[in-house]
Amino acid sequence: MSTSELMTLYQSTKGRVVIENKILDDHVDHFFEQIDTLRKFTAFVNCQINQLSTDSIRTVDSLLFVGCEIGYIDTGGSYFGGYLEISGNSLHSLNLYDSEFRSSVHINNRELTMVSFRRNILRNIATQIVLESEKNSDLFRKPTPFRNQFFLGSNAPIGEVILSNNTFESEDLFQTVQISAEMGKLMIQDNTFQSTLDFDRATITNQLMLFQNSINRISFGYMTFSETYNLIEWDDLKGFRILQTTKRDVEQFKLTDEDQILLKNQSNYQVPRAFYEAQSKLELDYLPLYDDLIRNYYSLYLSSKQFGNIRYANGINYEMKEIEGRWLRNQYLNQRTFSNYFKWKLNRLMGFYTRHGTDPAKSVMISLLIILIFGVFYFFFPSDWDKESKASMILKFKELIARDGVYVKPFFVLSWAILLSLINGLTLSLNSFITLGFGQIPTHGLAKYACIIEGFLGWFLLTLFVVTLINQIQF
């Protein structure tokens, strides 16, 4: 089919233009070079195309390549006003760059070696379906079908996928960038994701690199990480941005007949879903999704630990244990037993004292502060180690002043006596904290009982410190 025949078919067709079962060779390139703006729905179905390497393509309606044999697609500086679908094709490489997309991009081919998606802007997709939920709950923060802003799937493994320097604009979190393909290498770098990044059921066989991105929310779903190398920059993800997505039944929503058709026919819509962040009581009571979320954190933790990213592993472990703390609190509120209460408070103590076993230096600083506080407290009570009481020190100070008529010498004498008493208090505090008991306690009154309490506190906290230290040494 020649270029002129393509132009004639496009111009003479009213409504949707479907070019099917044609050998087009290089004529698709010439077709896009001659046409200024593609204003009609245009689909190339089961065609043979050598290449599409024309820049500055402009479309108003949808453009589809479905079931074709294509050498490669390499286009940039383009404007896609409608839906772009490249699916079911046998395609060697796909390179889209420096372009603007006003609707969804859907890529899912039976054969594809390499995908490069660079320096593109994907605008927010306006919501066309309005939903009301009869079963509105905490699981549905804003019930709506997810909108696929970008979808990458595959019927066969893709050798390499690169997403870099793209901006995915969104006005809400229910717009997704979904990557669900099997890939040898995946690199995602320097992107801005206002939409939710979703890796549900993606598989990486060789190398995963996710770094220097601005990510709003991310879901790993049932992703399979690479066993060879993973570089996942925790700074991109920290701050409880990891969540779990869950499909919901369409019947839970009031949908008009028109909206039901829209949901089924427009491929940028998925079935209604909801976020799971393990925050509300209803979420924390739903164990399957809680377990999935913890499993995602743990997979990230093991991956970071395996490849020596200690700082990332510590950060992941801290957030995972904080989420576990929410769940333990919920368990206690559901069943108020001493065991549940102790588990919850022990989690809180570990978070405060050692950042859940990741920061032994913090536990040392807190221990020193406790020793100092108790040491100052002991200073104001009599001790067998003090040669004279505080009252006798003051009396002696006054006598020296009255006898000699000067203040310098009495001041130094009193200061030295106070310093020795303070050192004795700190020494007593240190002994009490690290030994629990060391014979007769050399103090009296309230300080004696404070000494016993400090000893128990020190025994307990030092045990946690040793566990934390061993945990870090094992790295």
pLDDT digits (tens, 9 = 90+) for 433-473: 988 655 677 787 888 889 889 999 999 999 999 888 887 77
Residue range 286-300, pLDDT digits in tens:
888 899 999 999 999
Position 386 scores a pLDDT of 65
Considering the domain architecture, whether residues 214 and 263 belong to the same structural domain is answered as yes
Please state, in angstroms and as integers, the Cα–Cα distance from residue 293 to each residue in 219, 249, 281, 283, 285, following that order.
Answer: 9, 21, 15, 11, 13
Q: Where a domain ends, among 259, 287, 315?
A: 287
Lowest mean pLDDT: which of 2-11, 124-133, 276-285? Answer: 124-133
Q: Is residue 439 part of a domain?
A: yes
Q: Are residues 33 and 142 in the same domain?
A: yes
- 195-203: list long-range contacts, CB under 8 Å, 24+ apart: 195/122, 195/149, 195/150, 195/168, 195/169, 195/170, 196/146, 196/170, 196/243, 196/245, 198/245, 199/223, 200/245
Direct distance between the N- and C-terminal alpha carbons of the chain, in angstroms, rounded to an integer: 64
Range with the lowest mean pLDDT among 209-223, 237-251, 416-430? 237-251
For 199-314, list the strands marked E by DSSP. 203-211, 214-219, 229-232, 244-247, 253-254, 269-276
CA 138 to chain centre: 20
pLDDT reading at 223 higher than 60: yes
In a domain, 396, yes or no: yes
Shared domain check, 267 and 314:
no
**Which span out of 5-19, 192-206, 271-285 was modeled with the highest average pLDDT?**
192-206
The answer on 166 and 149 residing in a single domain is: yes
| Alpha helix ranges (H) inside 125-219 | none
Phi, psi of 240 (to 5 degrees): 55, 45
Q: Is residue 294 part of a domain?
A: no
DSSP state letter for 131: -
The domain tally of the chain equals 3
Give percent of the chain with pLDDT exceeding 90.
Answer: 49
HSE (CB half, 13 Å, CA atoms) of 64? 19
Q: What is the pLDDT of residue 142?
A: 46
- The whole-number average pLDDT for the span 412-436 is 81
Which carries the bigger pLDDT value, residue 415 or residue 237? 237
Q: Find the mean pLDDT for residues 139-168.
A: 82
417 has a pLDDT exceeding 80: no
The pLDDT, as a whole number, for residue 206 is: 93
Question: What percent of the chain shows pLDDT beyond 70?
Answer: 83
User: What's the mean pLDDT when you consider all of the chain?
Assistant: 85
One domain, residues 217 and 283: yes
Last residue of a domain, one of 287, 322, 346: 287
Quickly count helices (H) and strands (E) in the chain. Answer: 11, 27
**Which residues form the domain of 178?**
3-287
CA–CA gap between residue 413 and residue 415 (Å, rounded) = 6
Q: Using alpha carbons, select from 166, 251, 256 the residue that is nearest to residue 213.
A: 166
Instruction: Check if the beta carbon of residue 221 is closer than 8 Å to that of residue 200.
Output: yes
> Residue for token digits 């809680």?
290
Report the b/e string of 190-209 with b at 16+ CB within 10 A.
ebebbbbbbbbebbbbebbb
Residue 180's H or E segment, with its range, is none
Same domain, 91 and 183: yes
Confidence at residue 255, expressed as pLDDT on a 0 to 100 scale: 61
Measure the CA dihedral 232/233/235/238, to 10°. Answer: 10
Say if residue 163 is in the same domain as residue 90. Answer: yes
330 versus 440: which is more confidently predicted?
A: 330
Q: Is the pLDDT score of 301 beyond 50?
A: yes
pLDDT band, residue 56 (cuts 50/70/90): confident
Point out the least confidently predicted range of 4-8, 205-209, 388-392.
388-392
For residues 259-286, average pLDDT: 71
C-alpha 426/C-alpha 5 separation (Å) is 95
Residue carrying the six token digits 């499909």: 247
Q: Are 163 and 95 in contact (CB under 8 A)?
A: no
pLDDT > 80? residue 327: yes
CA dihedral 29, 31, 35, 40 (to 10 degrees): -110
Please tell me the distance from the alpha carbon of residue 351 to that of residue 353, in angstroms, as a whole number: 6
* Mean pLDDT, range 78-105, rounded to an integer: 94
Please check the confidence at residue 263 and state whether its pLDDT lies above 70. no
Could you give the CA distance from residue 273 to residue 255 in angstroms, rounded to a whole number? 15
Residue 171: inside a domain: yes
Q: Does residue 293 sit within a domain?
A: no
Amino acid, res. 208: L
Same domain, 398 and 332: no
> Looking at the structure, do residues 401 and 264 belong to the same domain, yes or no?
no
Q: Of 287, 321, 336, which residue constitutes the final position of a domain?
A: 287
- 296 in a domain, yes or no? no
Whether residue 126 is found in the same domain as residue 189: yes
Buried b (16+ CB within 10 A) or exposed e, 372-405: eebbebbbebbbeebeeeeeebeeebeebeeeee
What pLDDT score was predicted for residue 137? 43
